[in-house]
Copies of this chain bind each other. A is one copy, B any other.
Amino acid sequence: MALMQPPTQMGTPMTDHDQSLSAPFGTPGSRALIDTPALVLDLDAFEHNIARMAEICRTAGVGLRPHAKTHKSSIIARKQIAAGAIGIGCATLDEAEVMVAAGLPGVLITSPLVTQGKIARLMRLVAGTGDVMVVADNPENVAALDQAAAAAGTTLGVLVDLDLGQHRTGVATVADGVRLARDIADRRHLRFAGVQAYGGHLQHIPDHAGRLAATRAADALVAELVAALTEEGLAPGIVTGAGTGTHRINAGGGPFTELQAGSYTVMDAEYGDVEYAPGEAWPFRQALFVAVTVVSTNAPGRVTTDGGTKAFALNGPPPRIAAGPLAGAAYAFSGDEHGCITLPDGVAAPTLGTVLDCVVPHCDPTIAHYDAIHCVRGDRLVDVWPVDARGRRAAAPRG
């Protein structure tokens, strides 16, 4: 019996396996088709999130350049642009190459690219579209970018990256920021495009008051740099930063012309533990899950699943079973390929083969484990989206 294939935008034909699926393994379009462990996206929740953040930014009069490091999916990026986003943030050159190839506009690479090989690839992207920008925090890097842009006969937009105290990337002081901006503006083949100031360390401060205070302090530093630049005749066109954790604070006034949030798209357990605002629930719904299957039930008081350390990010809370009698049960990793669920008192063990949806611990690095996102509406599998910007790095020796 032939199976109706769910609609797909993957561009690759399904494998032989799919051709020979027959009814016992799931009715056409049924969620039972999903082979675990697997990423599962609740499309209703996802679409709500995309629309809600777009509305928040529109209402606040601030731009949204959502960060693709979360989803690494050009399909999701396209939906964000369709909802009004002004561009796409990319953490890596690989992500940027995929997004540009997919026709996404306004790509901003949010980490410095410092090697000759990466800079050469960047120039190919810029020469192709003219619509790719990068951040820099170092005068040597600025000189290298200018030289490469000259060689490529193009002009590159460069933003000064400002360190907000995380000490990851960015210039360390306002004076350094002004100096670097002047350096960029004086280069023949670079264009000073603005300022990036992202505080990764601010996003998950769990209590709103603490997050508000730390964010306002960081905002003051950004405002100081913007003022100093303006005084120098270098008023930044773009002031970009903020994430899902601080989007509400940063949308409510301050130095930013645009926000870089990403996790709002799908949410995760880590953000679920963050207080949105006093008396206010998160306006975004949990949309992303990892589906796992119970594969062993012999040990008393526990069952084993097929979701281990290769199926979930480890830098977040443990996976949380989303619904049913096991919601809230402790989930511990039992090696690379297995998870162990401790049965709560009085809860019977699920039968072998039971599929459980787990709220992802930390969305970005969990998605990066997978090649595909399974999109569901209720019990129906309606689409499969490739995580097309993952895992490309180092696939072949490149310059």
- Assess whether A257 is interfacial by the CB under 8 Å rule: no
Interface string of A168-207 (1 = CB under 8 A from B): 1111100010000000000000000000000010000000
- Return the chain B residue nearest A364 by Cβ: B336
**Among the listed B37, B138, B369, which residue makes an inter-chain contact with A297, where contact means beta carbons less than 8 Å apart?**
B138
- Assess whether A338 is interfacial by the CB under 8 Å rule: yes
Cβ–Cβ contact B91 & A336, under 8 A: yes
Q: A35-B117, A111-B338, A340-B167 are in contact. Are A370 and B394 (CB under 8 A)?
A: yes
Cβ–Cβ contact A333 & B315, under 8 A: yes
Q: Please measure, in the bound complex, the distance between the C-alpha atom of A18 and the C-alpha atom of B8, giving whole angstroms.
A: 31
Contacts of A368 in B (CB 8 A): 310, 336, 369
Cβ–Cβ contact A34 & B111, under 8 A: no
Cβ–Cβ contact A299 & B163, under 8 A: yes
Q: What is the minimal beta-carbon distance from A318 to any residue of chain B, in angstroms?
A: 13
Complex copy number for this chain: 2
Number of interface residues of A (CB under 8 A): 97
Contacts of A32 in B (CB 8 A): 117
Cβ–Cβ contact B352 & A374, under 8 A: no
Cβ–Cβ contact A293 & B396, under 8 A: no
Cβ–Cβ contact A315 & B315, under 8 A: no
Cβ–Cβ contact B393 & A334, under 8 A: no
Stretch at the interface among A20-28, A43-51, A278-286: A20-28
- Assess whether A391 is interfacial by the CB under 8 Å rule: yes
**Among the listed B111, B117, B335, which residue makes an inter-chain contact with A295, where contact means beta carbons less than 8 Å apart?**
B111
- Assess whether A328 is interfacial by the CB under 8 Å rule: no
Most buried by B among A120, A121, A336, A396: A396
Cβ–Cβ contact A299 & B397, under 8 A: no
Q: What is the minimal beta-carbon distance from A199 to any residue of chain B, in angstroms?
A: 11
Q: A26-B117, A352-B141 are in contact. Are A298 and B176 (CB under 8 A)?
A: yes
Contacts of A298 in B (CB 8 A): 137-138, 163, 169-172, 176
Q: What is the minimal beta-carbon distance from A153 to any residue of chain B, in angstroms?
A: 15
Given A34-B397, A91-B336; 12 other pairs, CB 8 A cutoff: A17-B121, A24-B116, A35-B117, A111-B295, A137-B296, A140-B352, A163-B299, A167-B340, A169-B295, A310-B364, A315-B333, A369-B391
Query: Could you name 20 residue pairs across A and B whose Cβ atoms are closer than 8 Å?
Result: A5-B397, A24-B116, A35-B117, A35-B394, A38-B393, A91-B336, A111-B337, A114-B353, A116-B353, A167-B302, A167-B334, A168-B296, A168-B340, A172-B299, A314-B314, A371-B393, A371-B395, A372-B394, A372-B395, A374-B394
